[in-house]
Structure 1
């Protein structure tokens, strides 16, 4: 006889990551990053300086009572809390993530808030949860009145932008755009490891990823993996746009002005898997095979360095004096 299914275990985790250039002309130091991300007085900010400067806020909770997006139009009401957190990489790139996990079934009726507050980051359905329809609905984006994780993440970014540290320092060293990554994680078959079922680059700077992970994987670890994906996708997207049309032809100071921000602020940030959970780190290899993030990044980085070397070489060459008619004078002299 089969063992009874534990309907309280999560069968899906979903989240959305917003990645953006911190609105500050200079990068924040470690102590400043900790001050910026102190979202709760009862928990400290985690700060790491190896292999690069990284700060992670404690989770905040947002209570919700609404419908989940579904691909088939099913009306699925959930109640509980969405977890949200922010991170800062090298004092320069800020990310906000909102995420939750949900079980296969929940109470038939809404419970007092105390029931949900002791289950942080969990949304319980009233009845059964159609996880496949929810997974597709979350990735596609919801309708008005349905849960919007991106809106919660944006609210966290707005809160950070209003911090006194940034209030008088909102200029940025270069222009960039915000990107979004929506993700869903479903349980992998017993005995199998994590996998990427689909990774897409959609319009309007939206990316989506559908994962399979072992049943006991913490949603915070999945969120960390997706934050790493989102960070490096933002870096690649930003550098591609920054140098678009600037490498050829050589335009002297104009080209130097366009390429300099990439070298000063971005090229040293490329460190995939630096803080990804070990059980999920192999998924970077899958992403590399499909999308070739690092291959493209290395190619772009080398082109930028070659272009700057060429500009430096050209700038060091003496200019040939001109005749009155504009023709260059021969440096070899005239035969007598």
Structure 2
């Protein structure tokens, strides 16, 4: 899923610090490159923090999944942070977007000169099972559940012009679907699986600077960009988000697709125990993603599932799936740079769990 603006650490320093942090984390040491009493400027997300949970709608979750939100830990979308969706060069292509200045992002701003580039990736045009056909060859029903495909948006009703949906956060400089399969919202789910970092006796390890216990989360190293991230993926047509969260974690962090059936059964029991616990809904809404276009965009639900006792998934062997290069338990810490807005997801989890950040 995909980072906003604000004061940033120099790129070279950020990568150096991230590499050192990861090495120390994997050794299991409660160390941070931040000095007590100071914090580096955190890489700001495209999602601003909010003190209200009014933006969060009732969970799209069924079966055994139970979610809750609090006034301390929720994120709200913001039209002011439509930044990565206007990145000059579209990902995995040589296509350049039509430049969109900040004051012309809003659709309500009259701009006769707007001449966006039209682009849909060849892989999408080949009509894989996860992608829609081109508009004209079919007539999707927007702002509703269209057969098995949910075309509603977490942001409310969106506009449709000339048979095509309009990005609710404004112009991107590119029409079509780009790398995204669905016209309109493309729904994803991000499971944030955490546990307490403990010593040999099982006692929580307290951070020397914050004096708070340290959380660890399951992190994957993405193959496409080499950055560490929360495992996640797209919601299949007709699939409940609760199942997507479990499936994506199982496939990306545990590589269950490669296991024998007997091993799958044992692993599934522990996974179900974790995911049947009450999850903390961290965020639900629009994602400022470089893959977004005027007619297709990313939305996600990020949920934290916490292994409080350390007896559900903590003991399972982590193994990277097809979309991940590596997978590890990593300390939750503001000094560890992550892909996209994932750092802010973890910041809210740390606040909710009263853990070190």
Alignment TM-score, normalising by the size of structure 1: 0.24
Alignment TM-score, normalising by the size of structure 2: 0.23
